[in-house]
Amino acid sequence: MVQQIKPGQFVQLEYNGRLLEGLVMPRSLYEDEKHITLKLKNGYNIGLDSGKVRLVKVVEYETPAQPIEEKSYNEIGNGPRVLIMGTGGTIASKVDYRTGAVKPAFSAKEIVDMVPEIGNIASISIKTIMNELSENMKPENWSVMSNEVYKAFNSGYRGIVIAHGTDTMHYSASAVSFAIENPPGPVVFVGSQRSSDRPSSDSAINLQGAVTFAAKSNSSGVFVAMHAGLDDNLVAVHRGTRVRKNHTSRRDAFESVNDSPFAYIDIEKGTVKQENETTPQGKIKLMPNFLAKASIFKFHPGISESLANAVFGGDLLSIIIEGTGLGHVSREVFPHIRSAITEGKFVGMTSQCIWGSVGMTVYETGRDLMAMGVVPLGDMLSETALVKSMWALGNGLDLGSVMPLNLRGEIATRRPVEK
């Protein structure tokens, strides 16, 4: 009897003496054939042992909706020209509850239909430039993003919004920050912590905030726009080189580290509040190449000899150390570091601490490391330092000269903001 139950059916089932009603969901990659998943009317999914299920009746069944024919929509809405770039999956999405699948919304008309507020903020265009999950992003993807941003600004767009998965969004934001020098307007990365089929989804508010900043701010640079708190009234805009995802699931997971948010967007009023503006210091310049010959070495007590040897003795050209406190590692690692620097590799020091700066002149260990040639990187985030070194390598720059410089706001020029 259970073989008659198919994904997409709205059914009544008897299970352990209880009557259940809901939508039969498609089997995921890791589900076995002995279980079925039922989406209840309250929105929650439950897994059922198929051997204990009795089909009472099929309440309703519809065939899955066919994809809507892609149409070319351009500049839907009114106001400054803003391009929304899609990098993976959906920019916004509609859930087809007949199948449980998410229907992508790639056209400008669909986006404005789903988040109609943005059509009153800007003239929206959409371009899908890749389809990669956040965790699958590679340096070559950063190059594609950077090239597309450069072309968009040269085509007259006032601002650009890049829809991106949240897990590695801060890496990509750093990458585009270095690859594009003097952008004439804002480039705003935006993501969603919770999918659009959940009542607590943050996707529409984040997108609205990102478009507002892209359309109304006069600032030049690369930014990340996400919820400022748990409420839907405020979106925080962070510098692309100073932001980090600090929570797995909260809507306000992204925080500016050693810095204050660059701006806030009042969603209800549609206003941008920022203390300073950044203006381009020359013509836009593109340096989009990245070389993935760099890595982060996270020091910890009891670190193995084989790991240290693999990192410092391998084919990497740049090693960013996440040291303890002010920038320290144990003396067992010293020979590996010394050998790597002797071979001409760049070794930079950041801190495992999220807030604060390395200070390698305070203790003997730090001074010894500097004497070997380890370069202190101030309060630069280790993720930003990694991306910056890949960018420097890819564009033939001297890391020893470039890495300590503050190029895109990645290093504080004054004492970092205390947490």
Encoding tokens for residue 68? Answer: 């809507």
Catalytic-residue membership of 245: yes
pLDDT of residue 68: 35
* Mean pLDDT for the stretch of residues 349-377: 97
The whole-number pLDDT of residue 60 equals: 62
Own/partner pairs, 311-314, CB within 8 angstroms, 24+ separation: 311/336, 312/336, 312/337, 312/339, 312/340, 312/345, 312/347, 313/339, 313/340
From 37, 87, 90, 99, active-site residue: 90
**pLDDT top residue among 192 and 259:** 259
pLDDT value for 22: 85
DSSP designation for 66: P
Read off the pLDDT of each residue in 163-185 and give the average, rounded to a whole number: 96
Q: Could you report the per-residue pLDDT of 271-327, keeping only the tens digit for each?
A: 999 988 899 999 999 999 999 999 999 999 999 999 999 999 999 999 999 999 999
Active-site hit among 37, 87, 202, 245: 245
What CATH code is assigned to 2-61? 2.30.30.520
Res 31 pLDDT > 70: no
Residue 392 confidence (pLDDT) above 70? yes
User: Would you call 279 a catalytic residue per the annotation?
Assistant: no
CATH topology of domain 76-286: Rossmann fold (3.40.50)
Residues 6+ apart with CB under 8 A from 287: 178, 179, 181, 391, 395
Catalytic hit among 96, 167, 197, 266: 167
pLDDT at 66: 39
Please give the average per-residue pLDDT across 223-248, as a whole number.
Answer: 95
Within the chain, which residue ranges are assigned CATH 3.40.50.40? 294-402
Task: Please report which confidence band the pLDDT of residue 202 belongs to, taking 50, 70 and 90 as the band edges.
Answer: confident
Measured from the Cβ of residue 401, the count of other Cβ atoms closer than 10 Å reads 9
Cβ proximity of 327 and 350 under 8 Å: yes
pTM of the model: 0.82
What is the location of CATH 3.40.50.1170 in the chain?
Answer: 76-286
Coil, strand or helix at 356? coil
| Higher-pLDDT residue of 75, 395 | 395
Residue 220 has pLDDT above 50, yes or no: yes
User: Do 287 and 178 form a contact (C-beta atoms < 8 A)?
Assistant: yes
Q: Using CA atoms, how far apart are residues 98 and 77, in angstroms rounded to an integer?
A: 31
**Span 246-263, mean pLDDT?**
95
Whether 259 is catalytic? no
Mean pLDDT across 258-276? 94
CATH number for the domain whose boundaries are 294-402: 3.40.50.40
* pLDDT of res. 192: 86
**What is the average per-residue pLDDT within 365-370?**
98
Domain boundaries for CATH 2.30.30.520 within the chain = 2-61
Residue 167 appears among annotated catalytic residues: yes
Q: How many CB atoms lie under 10 A from the CB of residue 72?
A: 8
DSSP per position, 371-403 = HHTPEE-TT--HHHHHHHHHHHHHTT--HHHHT
Answer yes or no: are the C-beta atoms of 369 and 396 closer than 8 Å: no
